[in-house]
Each structure stands twice: as structure tokens, then as C-alpha cells.
Amino acid sequence: MDWTQYLNPLMLGAWVTIELTIYSTVFGAILAFAAGIGKLAHNPLIKAISIGYIEIFRGTSLLVQLFWLYFALPVAGQAIGIDLRLPPVAAGVLALSLNIGAYGAEVVRGAIQSVSKEQYEAARALNFTPRQALWRVALPQAIPEMMPPFGNLAIQNLKDTALVSLISLSDLAFRAEQLRNFTQDSTTIYTLALLMYFGLALVLTAMMKLLERFVGRWRAGAR
């Protein structure tokens, strides 16, 4: 078989990989903000939930989380009479998001805490509420700080999507394995897959750089 014939099925897989990456990065970022801000909350319940979530998902392997959501959760649901069966896409996106969200939460927390005490004092002196101080003063300064580590997490996330092939989602890694089983042409197929992942990573890096530059305008070259 000519290598060009592998391209079509691999492209189909790459598209699934792209979708998984986008959904889980966006959803993960939202979780990261919620848990990162939650960890700094004064409310002990919100704080405890945030810390619990972050520690559990950072402390366990993504593969086990994925299998748990896909295989164990439905069984647990059955035991209490609720249908918790997730389609593979949902289980994949959920596991990836929860995972990136937990790591991202630490990035969000760190960036918020790096905003100087003086900025909070100025906000307080102007009678901002703590919430206004967070949204109007701290976050606009913290978000540009979050961008480089978020970029790394997004790339990590892209690579982690390969794990979802194990719950039979036909992403790039899954397609590659399928073709290899069929043709035994390991070298060509995996080289192509490698290049495609690399190409995707380059595009993602470029996108994160653009985003970084965009939010960097908020601080307008200060510091």
C-alpha cells in the first residue's frame, strides 16, 4: 500500500484528536479558574471542594480516571439505579478536562497570588468589594502570567488525548493502530502519526502564543 492511502483514515483520526483537544482544553480552563479561585476562597466548603478536586485528579493517573468514568461509573450508577453510561467522547472529554483543570487550577491560584499585596490594598482603599478586587484588579494582571504554563498544559493535553483510543474512540492514535493491525506497516504509519501529532502541537503552540499576545495587551507592557 502506498503511504498516501494512509492519509485519509489518519486525517479522520486527527480531526477527532483536534476536537477532543479543543473541548477538553476549553472546559478544563473553566474548571481551572473555578477550582483555582475556589482554593483561595474564604468559604471553607468551597475551599475544601476545590482542594479535594485538585489533589484527587493530580494524584491519580489519567488512564485510571478515564477507565473509571467509562467502565466503573456506569456500574456504580446501576447499583443506585441511575444510568451513568457515558458515550466514549463524553467520557474522554470529561477525563481530560478534569485532569487539565486540576493542573490548571494550580496555575490560576499561583498567578492570582503573584499579584502584589499593594494592588489589593489600593483596591481596598478605593472600597472595591473583594470580588471586584479579584475580577477588576487581580485577574486582569494574573491572566497574562497564566498564559505560558497554560500553553504547556494544552500541549500536554493534546498528547494525552491518545489515551482515549483505549476506550475505542477513533482518534489519531486509534486509527494508526487500526491501520497497523491491518497492514503491518508499522514504520510508515507511526512515522506519519508522529508527524501529525507534531504538526498539531505546532499549530496549538502558535495559537497559544497569539492568545498570550492578545491578553498581554491588557497589561500593556507594564513591569
Partner 1 sequence: MSDEPIIKFDKVVKRFGDLTVLNELDFEVKKGEKVSIIGPSGSGKSTVLRILMTLEDINGGVVTVGGEPLWHEKGPDGSLAPASETHLRKMRTQLGMVFQQFNLFPHMTVLRNITEAPVQVLGLSKQEAKQRGEELLELVGLADQAQKYPHQLSGGQQQRVGIARALAMRPNILLFDEPTSALDPELVGEVLNVIGKLAEEHDLTMLLVTHEMRFAREVSDRVCFFDQGRIREEGAPEDLFTDPNEERTREFLQAVLDN
In angstroms, the CA 103 to CA 149 distance is 10
Closer of 86 and 147 to partner 1 (Cβ): 147
Helices 172-183 and 186-216 cross at an angle (nearest 10°) of 170
Closer of 137 and 200 to partner 1 (Cβ): 137
Taking the complex as a whole, the smallest distance from the CB of residue 109 to partner 1 amounts, in Å, to 20
Total chain residues near partner 1 (CB under 8 A): 21
Q: What is the DSSP string of 21-86?
A: HHHHHHHHHHHHHHHHHHHT-SSHHHHHHHHHHHHHHHHS-HHHHHHIIIIIHHHHHHHTT-----
In angstroms, the CA 65 to CA 53 distance is 13
Q: Is 42 in the site for partner 1 (CB under 8 A)?
A: no
Fill in the per-residue mask, 64 to 103: x = in contact with partner 1 (CB under 8 A), - = not in contact: ----------------------------------------
In angstroms, the CA 128 to CA 19 distance is 40
Q: Which of 51, 90, 96, 56 is nearest to 73 (CA)?
A: 90
Q: Which of 179, 203, 200 is nearest to 4 (CA)?
A: 179
Q: Which of 163, 7, 178, 40 is nearest to 100 (CA)?
A: 163
Closer of 58 and 124 to partner 1 (Cβ): 124
Taking the complex as a whole, the smallest distance from the CB of residue 152 to partner 1 amounts, in Å, to 24
Closer of 80 and 220 to partner 1 (Cβ): 220
Taking the complex as a whole, the smallest distance from the CB of residue 120 to partner 1 amounts, in Å, to 9
Q: Is 15 in the site for partner 1 (CB under 8 A)?
A: no
Taking the complex as a whole, the smallest distance from the CB of residue 105 to partner 1 amounts, in Å, to 23
Taking the complex as a whole, the smallest distance from the CB of residue 107 to partner 1 amounts, in Å, to 19
Q: Which of 71, 28, 72, 31 is nearest to 160 (CA)?
A: 28
Q: Which of residues 103-142 bind partner 1 (CB under 8 A)?
A: 118-119, 121-122, 124-129, 132, 136-137, 140-141
Q: Which of residues 204-223 bind partner 1 (CB under 8 A)?
A: 218-223
> Residue 115 carries which DSSP code?
S
Taking the complex as a whole, the smallest distance from the CB of residue 27 to partner 1 amounts, in Å, to 27
Question: Where along the sequence are the contacts to partner 1 (CB under 8 A)?
Answer: 118-119, 121-122, 124-129, 132, 136-137, 140-141, 218-223
